[in-house]
Structure 1
Amino acid sequence: MSTGEYITHVQPRWSDMDVFGHINHARMVTLLEEARVPLLFDDATAQGLGEFAKGTVVAELGVEFKAPVIVDGKQLRVGITLSRLRQASFTLAYRVHNGPSESDPVAVTAWTLLAPYDIGAARPRRLGAQERAFLTEHIPEADSA
C-alpha cells in the first residue's frame, strides 16, 4: 500500500527497547520525528524553504500500536501522508511497518498536527504559499476512506 505515501526508513537503536524487548512507546514518537525531519527540514531547505527547520512544533499527536516492534537490527519502513492542510497547520499520518519492506506488517499508525512557529516572535505563523505547495507536492494526501 505504498501508493500515495512518502516513504522513508528509520533505524531503531538497542536503547529504544524497553524491558519487554520491544520499542518503548515514547521512543516510537522519537522515531516518528526522525522519519519526518529529512522531509520537512532537509528536502524543504534544499528547495529554499528553510522556515520549516527554523520553527515547526508538534501541537498534537496520536499513536496506535497494532503490534510490538522488536529491535533486531532492521530498519523500519515509514509511510507518511498529508491528511489535513490548513492555513496555519498541517497533519501528517504515519504507517510504521515492522521491518524495511512494504510486505512487513504495519505495527504502528500515528498522526502529528504540526504548526509552523516563528521563534523570534514567539508565536505560530501561517504557512506560505510555497510551503503549502511543497507539502502538497511532496507528501501525498491520505485516502479519505
Structure 2
Amino acid sequence: MTEVVTQLTAPARPIEVHDAAKRHIYHRQIRFADIDAHGHVNNARFLEYLEDARIALYLDYAGVLQEDRNGLPSVGVVIVRHEVGYRKPLKFRHGPVRIESWVTKINGASCEMAAEICSDEGVFLEARSTIAAVNPDTARPRRFTVLERAFLERYMP
C-alpha cells in the first residue's frame, strides 16, 4: 500500500538540482510530539519543518526581522502554494534530519522553492512551494527588490 500512496502523491513535476552547493541546509531535530499514532512524523508536522527551514533561510538574508505596523514580525512574503510528495515514513531518531532548500524559479513578484527532508538514509519528503512578495503593511502584492532577487539567485542551480 505504501508504494501506491507514494505514487499517487508524487509531485507532478520532478524536482531537480544540479549544484548541491546552491542548497540552503537546515538541520531539524524530531520531537517526540511530532510522532503520530502510526509511529512516524505526522504529515502536518512536515510543513512545520519546511517552515522552520524557510525562516532560517530568510534570516540569512534579513537578519533581525522588522516589525509591521501592528508590531508583529514581518518577512514580506507569503506562501501561496505547497506541493508535497511523501516518499517514506520518518520515524523518531536521536539525530536531526536535513532540510535542503533551493530556488527553482524567480518571477517579478514570486518565486518557486523546492525542498527535501532527508538524511543519509534517503529522502522522506519532496516539496515545491510558491512564495509571493507582499507589502507587510498593506498585505498587497509587490515586486522583489534587487537585493531580495540577488539573494534568491544564490540558491538557484
CA distance in 2: counterparts of 1:95 and 1:50, whole angstroms: 28
Superposition RMSD in Å: 2.2
Q: CA deviation at 1:68?
A: 0.3
TM-score normalized by structure 2?
0.77
8 A contact 1:44–1:50 mirrored in 2: no
| AA of the residue aligned to 1:57 | V
**Who is 1:140 aligned against?**
156
| AA of the residue aligned to 1:90 | C
The verdict on how the C-alpha distance between 1:72 and 1:37 changes in structure 2, with shifts beyond 3 A counting, is: same
Uncovered stretches (5+) of structure 1, i.e. residues with no partner: none
Q: CA deviation at 1:13?
A: 1.2
* 2:53 is the alignment partner of 1:35: yes
1:133 is paired with a residue of what secondary structure?
helix
The correspondence for 2:77, drawn from 56, 60, 79, is 56
CA distance in 2: counterparts of 1:6 and 1:110, whole angstroms: 14
Q: CA deviation at 1:127?
A: 0.3
8 A contact 1:56–1:115 mirrored in 2: yes
* 2:141 is the alignment partner of 1:115: no
1:120 is paired with a residue of what secondary structure?
coil
Displacement over 4 Å in runs of 4+: 48-53
Uncovered stretches (5+) of structure 2, i.e. residues with no partner: 1-18, 68-72
8 A contact 2:97–2:117 mirrored in 1: yes
8 A contact 1:7–1:78 mirrored in 2: yes
| AA of the residue aligned to 2:38 | F
Q: CA deviation at 1:74?
A: 1.8
CA distance in 1: counterparts of 2:141 and 2:79, whole angstroms: 11
2:143 is paired with a residue of what secondary structure?
coil
2:22 is paired with a residue of what secondary structure?
coil
TM-score normalized by structure 1?
0.83
The correspondence for 2:104, drawn from 79, 83, 103, is 83
The count of residues paired between Structure 1 and Structure 2 equals: 134
Q: In terms of mean alpha carbon deviation, does 50-59 or 61-70 score higher? A: 50-59
CA distance in 1: counterparts of 2:21 and 2:135, whole angstroms: 34
8 A contact 1:4–1:81 mirrored in 2: yes
8 A contact 1:12–1:31 mirrored in 2: no
State the percentage of identical aligned residues.
30
